[in-house]
Amino acid sequence: MKYIKQFMIIFGITFLGEVIYKLLDFPIPAGIYGLVILLLFLQTGILKFDEIKDVGEFLLDILAITFVPSTVGIVTASDDLKQFLIPILLALFVVTFIVFGITGRVSQFFLERKHKL
């Protein structure tokens, strides 16, 4: 029964993210809204980490399996994607380093802010 309750909490927050996505006309995925809501609930104490811990760990454990269908789709469409291989790899390379840089700067900002407190 504990697991059903935890799943319902997570699915409820996900559903709330979907509702907000439909109501707002922003190009932000519904999953992002759900993650922000979950973060706010955890930070404000509305939701305790222990209330979703077990199911959250389970979902993280099976996360790799959820990528199998998209990987199979890419492999089956590989002939069509060959013409775009160089631009895709270039974009992935550039974006990866941009993300590294932004993540590093944000981490430094918060670490410096923490030390000032």
Nearest alpha carbon to residue 53 among 7, 1, 18: 7
Angle between helices 53-61 and 2-23 (to 10 degrees): 80
108: amino acid identity, one letter: Q
What pLDDT sits at residue 57?
Answer: 94
Same domain, 49 and 18: yes
pLDDT (0 to 100) of residue 44: 94
AA letter at 2: K
Position 66 in a domain: no
Judge if 56 and 88 occupy the same domain. Answer: no
Q: From first to last of its 117 residues, what are the pLDDT tens digits of the chain?
A: 899 999 999 999 999 999 999 999 889 999 999 999 999 999 999 999 999 999 999 999 999 998 899 889 888 888 888 888 899 899 999 999 999 999 999 999 989 887 777
- For residue 34, how many other CB atoms are within 10 A of its CB? 22
pLDDT number for residue 80: 85
Residues 6+ apart with CB under 8 A from 33: 16, 17, 18, 20, 21
Number of domains in the chain: 2
pLDDT for the residue 75: 86
Q: Is residue 3 part of a domain?
A: yes
Domain that holds residue 24: 1-61
Q: Does residue 72 lie within any of the structural domains?
A: no
In a domain, 116, yes or no: yes
Question: Which of 52, 67, 44, 57 lies closest to 12, judged by CA?
Answer: 52
pTM equals 0.63
Residue among 87, 23, 16, 68 nearest 47 (CA): 16
Residue 115: per-residue pLDDT: 79
Q: Would you say 45 and 52 are in contact if contact means Cβ atoms under 8 Å apart?
A: no
Helix (H, G, I), strand (E, B) or coil at 35: helix
39 and 86: one domain? no
Same domain, 57 and 1: yes
Q: Give the pLDDT score at 97.
A: 96
Assess if residue 32 is contained within a domain: yes
Q: What is the pLDDT of residue 104?
A: 95
Looking at the fold, whether 110 and 56 belong to one and the same domain comes out as: no
